[in-house]
Chain A
Amino acid sequence: MRQDRIGFLFLTPALIAVVIFYLLPVVMTAVFAFTNMSTATGIRGGGYLVTEQTLRDLSGHGLTGATLSQLADAGYEVDTEGLAALAATFGDRLAGHIEAELGGESFATSRELERALRDLRAPELRITRDRKQAASLFQRSVLNIRHDTADALRDELTGAGIPGGDHDMIIEAAYTGWSWTMRNFELLLSLPSTARYALNTLIYVALTLVLFNVGLGLLLAIATFYLPKPSAAVFRAIWFMPRILPPVLYVLMWKWLMWDNGFLASALAPFGVERINWMLHSEYHAWVAIILINGVVGASFGMIIFASAIKAIPQTLLMAAEVDGATRWQQVRYVILPQMRWPILFVTAYQTLSLLASFEYILLSTGGGPGSATEVWAMAAFRTALNNYGGNLQYGMGATFALVLVIIGTVLSLLYLRFFNFQALLAKPRIER
């Protein structure tokens, strides 16, 4: 088999996965962002249904009282359906009788139908109350009948004698599914919480990245580099652990440390420090908590990258520096740090992207609280669309939030391409055929 055929064959499963779970979602995020899709509208287009609520909405929009009452009460029709219901209540005999006399006839009001029924002089309908009940069985209303298409509803409205001019307004109000809208973007721009989320995200990414992923990561890598092997291994293990522990467990440990009857509170109590929830006591506490929790995981990532970069520095370079009389600090400053430029850039670029989108540790620790003090953008998207306590999940609005991140993510990961020596990656396969 030719190698390009094998190549495509070998790539196919991965390509399918990429199309379904990357390309399609990117496109769909953009599509959903322009809809009002939510739990209420469902996700598969809806039907047309006029409800009491629709009537209330419509009366607020200037529909005349006459039309409204016509919608609620669209007259009386002696049809098989009504007859069946009547037979169940009053017996087959009466049903047959009514069918013979009035079958197929229509009446505008209950009163007219009742009069016609009285004229039948049937023994079952001697009392007015029974006639009213019987008449009600033939009442036809547009209300609470689901239509799959707008035309079906329009036919129904025409049948009920509702003026054609009102049809469009009613049909629009009766639509239960999602529809296209720009409202999400208007909301996004007008809501004050948007700015809050954006600012939170910025603070969260910047502080975690600078203090921990790069700062502490570099410190740990350099410090463990200079330590004797056994102690270096111990410290690396301590700081590596957060990266491999399941997030749920890792955050549990922090909760135990910071909870109101957790370790910190208990340990400080003998010193007269008030027992507080160190994680959620104030906005300030919450911020420290989420940056610490994310930062320690980030620091271990930085440590690994930087440690291997330091290891790649030729040992003779450091020996030369030492022979030249450089102190340890001067070695770090003039030999090690200059070699860290690319690793630092890499960690910054790569971790900016993952921090931007990550909310796992925040969700598990502060849950965005107190209030929405530590709610970041990605978490707002998640909450709006997938996990809000109100129960009405607003997929469209959530997608709008997500779309912003998707766009930023795409742009940044395209930029990230530049961090690689792409030409070298592209080196032609040495077996050409």
Chain B
Amino acid sequence: MRLVLEGFTKRFGDTTVIDALDLTVADGEMIALLGPSGCGKSTTLFAIAGLHQVDEGRILFGNRDVAHVSPQERNVGIVFQNYALYPHMTVAQNIAFPLRVRGERVVEMDRKVREIAGLVQIGELLERKPAQLSGGQQQRVALARALVRKPDVLLLDEPLANLDAKLRMEMRSEIRRVQLETGITAILVTHDQVEAMSICDRIALMKDGGIVQIAEPAEMYINPMDRYVASFLGNPPIAFLDAMADEELRLAGGASLGAAGRLQGLDRLVLGVRPEHYGPGKGVPLEGVVVMLETHGREDLFEVELAGCGRLRAILPAGSGTRIGTNVNWGIDMDHIFVFSPDGRRL
């Protein structure tokens, strides 16, 4: 079902935490609300669930405005970071709870519970209590409970944050598989860019209660709207250098990066260079010295201090033999750099 937020505004007391937010999620789409803590992503999620009151604006499920409908009547499924399983109930009772409060018949409930348990692969755990399950299993139960009532929207609030790295990868693809199989509209709230990029159709990157950019993950990475977006996505992160442009584009230290072109005359600029676009044999060479080296196994991550104008990161296949202190003359791939104004706008 299509989900639309129109001019959604949320205040806590006198502070407006979300100001006139617009968002459209297509039927069957999975979208990520990505942002640092405090950016309003969970607040938005809770408003969609009906747990928070909507101060202004509309929330449309299909064509129905649910902005002032109670959570009980909204038909959303929600999965929390801490799973929020009912500890005193078995797995089967947990999953059946949404059906039970709707007064469904026992036979029907039983059938639906088994069906959904099969989908999330916990069929053999139905008689256990939550305390007897691993984190991953608990998350599967929570997913099953959210899905069993065939919700209009599936809401996922940092569902992977409590899992260890390995389980996180596994559950990440599980959530995506189940979402695709059921064709449900889903919203994933997360502060982890990898999570958002790997399983969502689109990402809405949020900051200070508003959406900065909505795009498909690859598009957002390649074409960030501003410095904030560029710095949020990418691991290892993008590096920034101060620059200026007369006829030529120059770094703060004076080194030239070639003709300034359309930037000519701007005397304060910030260049964004991703690690994969800086290294030996690329673009314009610059003198620098390696100041840090992290061994990642397959790759090595370098930090290079450029003469008098800041640091860049480079990521190279392992075994280059370059060490800390080595003088290097690596270059920047000028076709892939981002140019920002001092206030962060993309130029």
Contact, chains A and B (beta carbon distance below 8 A)? yes
Residues of A within 8 A of B (CB): 428, 430-433
Q: Which residues of B contact A428 (CB under 8 A)?
A: 12
Contact with A along B35-60 (1 / 0, CB 8 A): 00000000000100011110000000
Q: B12–A433 contact, CB under 8 A? A: no
B71 within 8 A of partner (CB): yes
How far, in whole Å, are A431 and B71 apart by their CA atoms in the complex? 9
B13: nearest chain-A partner, CB-CB: A428
How far, in whole Å, are A432 and B13 apart by their CA atoms in the complex? 13
Query: How many B residues are at the interface, by size bracket?
Result: under 10
A429: nearest chain-B partner, CB-CB: B51
Smallest CB separation, B14 vs chain A (Å): 13
Q: Which residues of A contact B71 (CB under 8 A)?
A: 431, 433
B24 within 8 A of partner (CB): no
Smallest CB separation, A217 vs chain B (Å): 37
B198 within 8 A of partner (CB): no
- Can you list 5 contacts pairing A with B, beta carbon distance less than 8 Å? A428-B12, A431-B71, A432-B53, A433-B53, A433-B71
Q: Which residues of A contact B264 (CB under 8 A)?
A: none
Q: Which residues of A contact B46 (CB under 8 A)?
A: 430
Q: Which residues of A contact B12 (CB under 8 A)?
A: 428
B182 within 8 A of partner (CB): no
Residues of B within 8 A of A (CB): 12, 46, 50-53, 70-71
Smallest CB separation, A194 vs chain B (Å): 49
Q: Which residues of B contact A432 (CB under 8 A)?
A: 51-53
Smallest CB separation, B126 vs chain A (Å): 29
How far, in whole Å, are A428 and B52 apart by their CA atoms in the complex? 11
Smallest CB separation, B9 vs chain A (Å): 14
How far, in whole Å, are A428 and B13 apart by their CA atoms in the complex? 10
Closest 7 CB pairs of A and B: A432-B53, A431-B51, A432-B52, A433-B53, A433-B70, A432-B51, A433-B50
Q: Which residues of B contact A430 (CB under 8 A)?
A: 46, 51
Smallest CB separation, A4 vs chain B (Å): 12
Smallest CB separation, B115 vs chain A (Å): 30
B47: nearest chain-A partner, CB-CB: A432
Q: Which residues of A contact B51 (CB under 8 A)?
A: 430-433
Known contacts A432-B53, A433-B51, then 12 further A-B pairs from the complex at CB < 8 Å, ordered by chain A residue: A428-B12, A430-B46, A430-B51, A431-B51, A431-B71, A432-B51, A432-B52, A433-B50, A433-B52, A433-B53, A433-B70, A433-B71
Q: Which residues of B contact A431 (CB under 8 A)?
A: 51, 71
Which of A428, A430, A433 has the most CB atoms of chain B within a 10 A radius of its CB?
A433
How far, in whole Å, are A432 and B50 apart by their CA atoms in the complex? 8
B46: nearest chain-A partner, CB-CB: A430
B71: nearest chain-A partner, CB-CB: A433
A2: nearest chain-B partner, CB-CB: B70
Smallest CB separation, B185 vs chain A (Å): 22
Smallest CB separation, A156 vs chain B (Å): 70
A431: nearest chain-B partner, CB-CB: B51
How far, in whole Å, are A430 and B50 apart by their CA atoms in the complex? 11
How far, in whole Å, are A98 and B5 apart by their CA atoms in the complex? 105
Smallest CB separation, A430 vs chain B (Å): 7
Q: Which residues of B contact A433 (CB under 8 A)?
A: 50-53, 70-71
Smallest CB separation, B197 vs chain A (Å): 29
How far, in whole Å, are A411 and B97 apart by their CA atoms in the complex? 49
Smallest CB separation, B256 vs chain A (Å): 54
How far, in whole Å, are A431 and B12 apart by their CA atoms in the complex? 13
Which of A428, A431, A432 has the most CB atoms of chain B within a 10 A radius of its CB?
A432
